[in-house]
Amino acid sequence: MNFSIYDFTSFNQWIDKFLYDNLPPFWAVVVEMTIIGLVFLLFYALVGLFLVYAERKVCAFMQNRVGPNRVGPYGFFQTIADFIKLMLKELITIKNADKLLFNIAPFIIIIASFMAIAAIPFAKGLHAIDFDIGILYVIAVSSLGVVGILLAGWSSNNKYSLIGAMRSGAQIVSYELSVGLSLLTIIILAGTMQFSQIVEGQANGWFIFKGHIPAFIAFVIFLIASTAETNRGPFDLAEAESELTAGFHTEYSGIKFAFFFLAEYMNMFIVASIAATVFLGGWMPFHVGAWEGFNHIMDFIPPFVWYIGKTFFVIWMMMWFKWTFPRLRIDQLLTLEWKYLLPINLVNILVMAFLVLMGWHF
């Protein structure tokens, strides 16, 4: 057996073979699924907790503050303490709320973000399922979350929640277009929708460099649109704490609120990892043309580290926006999408198609 931190394929195959040798096929599948589910649950919780901590620290540094620094080293366990507090809190049910929808909504949001993780390649051979329409799947699944937001706003029997949910509906429906079209630009260049092949295609250069200016424009548009899609500042109109107190999750408490909170950060993680995978080469190391020595050193860094590094770079940029810009108004938000981003995007796709047709990319 050859275990390598650079390639997980053989490791996965070994587990698969071991299970099928010792168990009947049905039980082997059950065990495999359970293992994957548990691993993802753990990963989900850890990443969620870490991102909450990271955001607190990042925003603290931008605001001349120290951030959490009491619980554990550098306040590292603060989010865990907060999470325990949220779990122990009372779940308040409101009079005249639609009980069924009110209780379902947080789960829909969290399931949507959970499903999207499954298709993301973390390293070579390290993904739960490698669809040949991976990008389409992720776009489809991640936009399910808006159903949860709409239900939460509708069932809360609170006008602030309802306004927040309606804003969020309009916002996500609009920005879904830009997300899809900017990814489509890269799909033209890559010639495939399968994540593993998209990453393989970037072995000799990331798509953001390969695709000239159109790829860069697509990256910027994707960054804007995905920030809007995850309801984060400056597009956090669904929450808009100075206008709508807390928007669609005003009435939620305890663990249900924690679900919304966690889902927001996980959605951010998902869009950041899609940006990293599609534009920045996923787990591929950074290579420069003919610099053999440099490329060799870069290869020594494990792919998982590359992947996490790129993802967190994108996340950091999104946090940077949030803590710098004031919030847009709803009509300006829709104007930005329909009058600026969408036409630019359509032209951008044409330019990219032309470039690919003429073979002018690297």
Partner 1 sequence: MKEVINLPVKNIEEEEYHINMGPQHPSTHGVLRLVVSLQGEIVKSLKPHCGYIHRGIEKMCEKDTYPQIIHLTDRMDYLSAHINNHAVCLLVEKALEVEVPERVKYIRTIIDELNRIASHQLWWCSFGMDMGGLTCFFYGLRDREKILDIFEESFGSRLLHSYYTPGGLMMDIHPNFQKGVKDFIKYFRKKIKDYDDILTGNIIMQERTKGIGVLTKEDAISYGVIGPSGRASGFSCDVRKHHPYGVYDKADFREILGNDGDTFTRYLMRMHEMRESMKIIEQLIDNIPAGDYTAKMKAVIKLPAGEYYQRVEAARGELGVYVVSDGNKTPYRMKFRSPNFSNLSALDHISRGVKIADLVAIGGSLDYVIPDIDR
Among 160, 257, 269, 283, binds partner 1 (CB under 8 A): 160
Is residue 321 within the footprint of partner 1 (CB under 8 A)?
no
Cβ closer to partner 1: 12 or 69?
A: 69
Q: Return the residue of 43, 325, 338, 354 that touches partner 1, per CB under 8 A.
A: 325
Near partner 1 by CB under 8 A: residue from 134, 205, 214, 233: 233
List all residues 6 or more positions away from 128 whose beta carbon is below 8 Å from its beta carbon: 36, 40, 117, 118, 119
DSSP state of 326: P
Q: How many residues bind partner 1 (CB under 8 A)?
A: 29
Q: Is residue 236 within the footprint of partner 1 (CB under 8 A)?
A: yes
We find the least distance from the C-beta atom of residue 246 to partner 1, in angstroms, to be 9
Q: How far apart are CA 170 and CA 155, in angstroms?
A: 18
Q: Given candidates 17, 70, 85, 329, which one binds partner 1 under the rule CB under 8 A?
A: 329
Complex with partner 1: residue 17 or 339, whichever CB lies closer = 339
**Span from 31-39, 156-164, 178-186, 277-285 in contact with partner 1 (CB under 8 A):** 156-164
Residue from 65, 85, 99, 296 binding partner 1 (CB under 8 A):
65
Q: Which amino acid is residue 242, in one-letter code?
A: S
CB of 223 or CB of 349, closer to partner 1: 223
Cα→Cα distances 68→39, 55, 73, 232, 324, Å: 28, 11, 10, 21, 20
Contact between 323 and partner 1 by CB under 8 A: the answer reads yes
Nearer to partner 1, 20 or 323 (CB): 323
Residue in 116, 109, 110 with CA at minimum distance from that of residue 139:
116
Stretch that binds partner 1, among 83-91, 177-185, 215-223, 325-333 (CB under 8 A): 325-333
Q: Can you tell me the distance from the alpha carbon of 220 to that of 236, in angstroms, rounded to the nearest whole number?
A: 18
Question: In sequence order, what are the residues at sequence separation of 6 or more whose Cβ sits closer than 8 angstroms to the Cβ of residue 86?
Answer: 254, 255, 257, 258, 261
Angle at 257 between CA 155 and CA 38, to 5 degrees: 115
